[in-house]
Amino acid sequence: MNSAHPKIISGNANRPLAEAIARRMSFHRGERVRLCDARVERFNDAEIFVEVFENVRGEDMFIIQSTSNPANDNLMELLIMADALRRSSANRITAVIPYFGYARQDRRTKARTPISAKLVANLITEAGVERVLTMDLHAAQIQGFFDIPVDNLYAAPVFALDIKHHFDNLSDITIVSPDVGGVARARDLAERIGADLAIVDKRRAAPGEIASMTVIGDVKDRICIIVDDICDTAGTLCKAADLLKSTGAREVHAYISHGVMSGPAVERVAASVMKSLVITDSIQPTTAVRNAPNIRIIPTAPIFAQAIQNIANGTSVSSLFNDDTLAPIYEVAYPAA
């Protein structure tokens, strides 16, 4: 194991998460870790400017920047920060992207459409990034869009710890995938907690319009937990919750990796039959999200801080895929019974 001391720099996308990661790394290393002194700002014409105020020559640099809304601005911040560090002779640049924007454009769905996720991967690589650390990519094949190493963390182990902490009888729980494409993600979480699995089969009449939804599996008198990677406008999520409730579910909850929560999402969730929606802080939550009575946010700083330290030390990142490995990291949030 190397005695590595990585440096962290943050853009404006989710600075509270970056600060939380730095605090957690301070705990790991027994010394204060602070964000690299820099400014990331805009000129009057909205051009982005980055200036790093401290020496980074030969350093192992980690840029913490989700490419969430405004996606284009946050992506450009990431690219320009990477270029600034590369031109300042940083030894290695790792992009820590808790939420990878454009991930839903991972294939051509029609003629004459782009594969934007691949384009973004090319931009990040050309900017000088040598490794990417992210969480719950919308499609696993996006890892192959990069010609550099990609470490894709999973929220499922953290969700499993949270479910075990907040639900007394796991035998009453059924994990639900809101569509056929998310079955693997839902099955993974179901296996971690020993729960049953159900699927909501939805058919679209047109983009954004759902023609019909059907539940595959027994949910009667069950505590249903919907699992997905992204909650954008929450329309499909709330309709799935209504369907589960009308099919006989006792309670409906949801665990979502990335709370985009755009447009009327918060209002829809607040008015829905869901008892709770649990999201991570991979995207900085708005005031409305934080104040919503049935939305709860769980931290990702512990897992990202450990992953950064493992990458810097040259040790295993895949060890963080296990519930047992994460339990000590999250012992403050979820104390042992």
Binding residues for ATP: 45-47, 104-105
Q: 177 and 38 in one domain?
A: no
Which residues form the domain of 286?
A: 156-298
CATH number at residue 96: 3.40.50.2020
Residue 337: inside a domain: no
Same domain, 20 and 144: yes
Token code pair at residue 195: 């729960």
Check whether residue 161 and residue 125 sit in a common domain.
no
Q: Is residue 87 part of a domain?
A: yes
Does residue 335 belong to any structural domain of this protein? no
Looking at residue 207, its pLDDT comes to 56
Residues in the chain predicted with pLDDT less than 70, given as ranges, are 1-4, 204-211, 336-337
Q: What is the pLDDT of residue 318?
A: 94
Number of independent structural domains in the chain: 2
Asked whether residue 334 is assigned to any structural domain, the reply reads no
DSSP alpha helices (H): ranges in the chain? 15-29, 71-87, 116-126, 156-166, 183-193, 235-246, 265-271, 287-291, 301-313, 323-329
Residues flagged as binding site for Mg(2+): 138, 179
| Residues designated catalytic | 202
195 and 107 inside one domain: no
The pLDDT score that the predictor gives to residue 113 is 95
Partner residues linked to 256 by β-bridges: 228, 279
Question: 70 preceded by cis ω (within 30°)?
Answer: yes
Phi, psi for residue 36 in degrees, rounded to 5: -60, 135
Taking CA atoms, 37 is separated from 10, 30, 52, 147, 301, in Å, by: 9, 21, 6, 30, 20
- Residue 270: its pLDDT value, please? 96
- Residue 78 belongs to some domain of the structure: yes
Tokens of 7: 């440096």
Note the pLDDT of residue 206. Answer: 59
Q: What are phi and psi of 227, to 5 degrees?
A: -125, 130
Structure token pair of residue 294: 């049935």
Residue 111 lies in a domain: yes
Residue 212 is predicted with a pLDDT of: 78
- Give per-residue pLDDT as tens, 59-99: 999 999 999 999 999 999 999 999 999 999 999 999 999 99
Is 332 a member of any domain? no
Report how far Cα 304 is from the mean position of its chain's Cα atoms: 10
Q: Which residues are annotated as a binding site for D-ribose 5-phosphate?
A: 204, 228, 232-236
Alpha-carbon gap, residue 284 to 289, rounded angstroms: 10
